[in-house]
Amino acid sequence: MKVLVINAGSSSLKYQLIDMTDESVLAKGNCERIGAGGHIGHKTADGRKIDRDVDFPTHKEAFLELVKTLTEGEGKVIDTVKEISAVGHRVLHGSEKYKTSTLITDQVIDDIFSFSELGPLHNPPQATAMKACQEVFGKETPMVAIFDTSFHQTMPPKAYMFGVPYEYYEKYSIRRYGFHGTSHRFVSKRYFEVSGSPVKGSRIITCHLGNGSSLAAIQDGAVVDTSMGFTPLDGFIMGTRSGGIDPSVVTYLMNKEHLTPDQMSDLMNKKSGFLGLSGISSDMRDLSDAADKGNERAVLTLDMFAYQIKKFIGGYMAAMNGLDALVFTGGIGENSARARWMICREMEALGIKIDDEKNPACSGKEAEVSAPDSKVKIWVLPTNEELLIARDTKELVGLK
Ligand code: ADP
């Protein structure tokens, strides 16, 4: 039985077709430039590659092309679309309503649209893609929504409320939601499998560090706090996002630079973080290279990144009254030994000690990289959000 995993954006449709009998990826790719031309890039497990321009006026044409590519010609991996038993859709925002993954009905699609103010860039195209998918696959193919916010729904109010008048929580649902939930859930579950540690009584912090980054404090397997907030802008510096700053900086800068709310949002989301601070790049590899060559702003940016994360780790240790393990994942968390070292060094007083030989040698694979005498275990565990989406889809649809 095969599950199609869909990650839709406003102009793209990323997909993976996964065979759930052995959880192998049969094919994956991306339909890009939807609404502005169209291109499909498709790769099969045995190394065949397709790259072609196709006209995608809407997501529906992209789905039609995707089905054609999976079932015909050079990219073919299945004989008929009927082999796809179910479709799992990644969704950014499930508000407070969706605390777990959910079978998609018309009501669920309407709800996802209705949360558009909470996820303006993602929820509308994701709901649109679900409708297009239904038209192409027919209502007999079950679909499941997997929300980036749902794993964080176990947070207590003291962690998710902001210190603005309560009426804005009631009126506009303003609160901390947290994101990257699929990744935090995947690696936390994987931590319990690989370490053999019991879930009950456990206290771990998962660090998803990529272009966007967040930490989650997880007690007894459930999130008790997380660094992203009302939107994915909160927390610490990221590729192009500012992370948390004194809120007064926002009003001050808007006044001084005569910025509209949209321009200010653009500044904090797209021009800040690694890029805005270093003036070099939003990419960790470029910053590392520049720091090696002695670029002072690159060094400052890396120092800030590690320092801000350290403070979250310390805060979450206080919140949970201890820590068993720190788990690193995401492009930076899995691959940058330097970032892991900078974050973990000089935390011996908290029982955190990284191993200077194991850490640089682990090269993005599953590995424990803590020193033998580290009280807190440090793990590198690659994330696999698509697989979690496929597993949830399989379970909810009741596939054997
Ligand atoms: P996204 O959040 O878009 O999914 P990723 O999780 O792929 O992004 O993370 C991208 C980040 O990972 C970039 O900053 C990139 O520099 C960093 N990264 C990827 N590979 C390496 C590597 N080998 N060493 C250091 N950083 C890396």
Model confidence over 335-356: pLDDT tens digits?
999 999 999 999 999 999 999 9
Ligand 1 atom 21: residue of nearest CA: 335
Model confidence over 36-51: pLDDT tens digits?
999 999 999 999 999 9
Ligand 1, pocket residues at CB < 6 Å: 210-212, 239, 283-285, 330-332, 335-336
Of the candidates 120, 220, 223, 124, the one whose C-alpha atom is nearest the C-alpha of residue 180 is 223
Ligand 1 atom 27: residue of nearest CA: 332
Tell me the mean pLDDT in the region 176-191: 98
How close is the Cα of 332 to the center of ligand 1, in Å? 5
Query: What one-character-per-residue DSSP string does 164-186 give?
Result: S-HHHHHHH--S---S-HHHHHH
Residue among 207, 280, 283, 284 to mutate when testing ligand 1 (max atoms within 8 A of CB): 284
Task: Kindly report whether the global pTM for this prediction surpasses the value 0.75.
Answer: yes
Model confidence over 298-346: pLDDT tens digits?
999 999 999 999 999 999 999 999 999 999 999 999 999 999 999 999 9
How close is the Cα of 179 to the center of ligand 1, in Å? 18
Residue 148 is among the residues annotated as catalytic for this protein: yes
Burial 34-50 (b: 16+ CB within 10 A, else e): beeebbbebbbeeeeeb
How close is the Cα of 207 to the center of ligand 1, in Å? 13
Instruction: Report which ligand 1 atom has the smallest distance to the Cα of 208.
Output: 6
The amino acid at residue 370 is: S
Place of tokens 């991306």: 30
How close is the Cα of 105 to the center of ligand 1, in Å? 35
How close is the Cα of 28 to the center of ligand 1, in Å? 20
Given the DSSP bridges, would you call strands 203-209 and 2-8 parallel, antiparallel or unpaired? Answer: unpaired
Model confidence over 130-168: pLDDT tens digits?
999 999 999 899 999 999 999 999 999 999 999 999 999
Side-by-side strand order, sheet with 49-53: 49-53, 39-44, 24-32, 13-19, 2-8, 84-91, 143-147, 102-103
State the Cα torsion 270-273-274-278 to the nearest 10°: 100
Residue among 241, 285, 343, 381 to mutate when testing ligand 1 (max atoms within 8 A of CB): 285
**Strand spans (E) along the chain:** 2-8, 13-19, 24-32, 39-44, 49-53, 84-91, 102-103, 143-147, 203-209, 213-219, 222-226, 325-329, 367-368, 377-380
Model confidence over 207-220: pLDDT tens digits?
999 999 999 999 99
Give, as one character, the DSSP assignment of residue 370.
Answer: B
Q: What angle do CA 198, 204, 210 make, to 5 degrees?
A: 130
Instruction: Report which ligand 1 atom has the smallest distance to the Cα of 286.
Output: 16
How close is the Cα of 298 to the center of ligand 1, in Å? 16
Q: Which is catalytic among the residues 22, 53, 79, 148?
A: 148
Given the DSSP bridges, would you call strands 143-147 and 367-368 parallel, antiparallel or unpaired? Answer: unpaired
Instruction: Report which ligand 1 atom has the smallest distance to the Cα of 383.
Output: 6
Of the candidates 7, 336, 39, 46, the one whose C-alpha atom is nearest the C-alpha of residue 145 is 7
| CB 106, CB 143: distance < 8 Å | no
Ligand 1 atom 3: residue of nearest CA: 211
Instruction: Please determine, for residue 280, whether its predicted confidence score (pLDDT) is greater than 90.
Output: yes
Q: What is the pLDDT of residue 120?
A: 86
Structure confidence at residue 400 as a pLDDT band (50, 70, 90): low
How close is the Cα of 187 to the center of ligand 1, in Å? 17
Place of tokens 């095969």: 2
Place of tokens 């709901």: 127
How close is the Cα of 337 to the center of ligand 1, in Å? 12
Q: What is the pLDDT of residue 304?
A: 98
| CB 206, CB 184: distance < 8 Å | yes
Could you tell me the two tokens for 386? 């698509």
Structure confidence at residue 117 as a pLDDT band (50, 70, 90): confident
Residue 168, number of CB atoms within 10 A of its CB: 12
| CB 209, CB 328: distance < 8 Å | yes
Burial 172-201 (b: 16+ CB within 10 A, else e): eebbbbbbbbbbbbbbbebbeeebeeeeee
